[in-house]
Chain A
Amino acid sequence: AAGVIQSPRHLIKEKRETATLKCYPIPRHDTVYWYQQGPGQDPQFLISFYEKMQSDKGSIPDRFSAQQFSDYHSELNMSSLELGDSALYFCASSLQQGATGELFFGEGSRLTVL
């Protein structure tokens, strides 16, 4: 079965650069979530989108923005990168804002900021 696809899997950037992470949800899933997991930390909710509209917002820095496109894929844009942005970024998808009760996670995109 198709899973959540994230790209790139690994990304190395310098401080103050910009990075873009992409997420392709499971087909027919209409809700996408972004989480950030710092080294040795638990995943922290950043933002979610339902039917291409932002549905909820967590601890996402103002330097970050995200959107969901007409094909339901989502992109997380991170600007003015800081060392502390180095983390594993998970995307998850669900149907009807999680009405089925389950988030399906991708394998994550590991961002390293030097």
Chain B
Amino acid sequence: AQSVTQPDIHITVSEGASLELRCNYSYGATPYLFWYVQSPGQGLQLLLKYFSGDTLVQGIKGFEAEFKRSQSSFNLRKPSVHWSDAAEYFCAVGRDYKLSFGAGTTVTVRA
């Protein structure tokens, strides 16, 4: 069975500070890993994805994520947060594209 754990329900970060969102997964084979962002009342937008190769992947809006097989983790990072990054972030795992999502991490950005 596949599953995703996002340990942090809510994170508050100051504008301009760095951000790291944690994601741990359970999967029986090499996973496809994704990070999606959801702004209030909006749909899910793909930030980045990992299939294979370089374990550090770059995404949109200045986000990056690092796949660590030994830790079953796929943490999302951004060096300098902007107020527009306030949203809910979902990590997802899937092979056949029946994605399993984590519970999400809500990010609040303070001025």
Contact = CB atoms under 8 A, between A and B. Distances in A.
A105 interface: yes
A43 B38 CA distance: 11
Interface stretch (B12-20, B66-74, B94-102): B94-102
A102 interface: yes
Interface string A36-60: 0000011111001000000010100
Nearest to A9: B41
B44 A90 contact: yes
Interface string B19-35: 00000000000001010
A101 B92 CA distance: 12
A107 interface: yes
A interface: dominant SS: mixed
B49 A56 contact: no
A56 B96 contact: yes
Contacts of B102: 42
Contact of A42 (B42, B43, B51, B90): B90
Given A33-B97, A94-B97, A101 B104 contact: no
19 contacts: A42-B90, A42-B103, A43-B44, A43-B99, A45-B100, A48-B97, A56-B96, A58-B98, A92-B44, A94-B97, A101-B51, A102-B34, A102-B46, A102-B49, A103-B99, A104-B46, A105-B36, A107-B43, A108-B43
Interface of A: 4, 31, 33, 41-45, 48, 56, 58, 90, 92, 94, 97-98, 101-108
Interface of B: 32, 34, 36, 42-46, 49, 51, 90, 94, 96-104
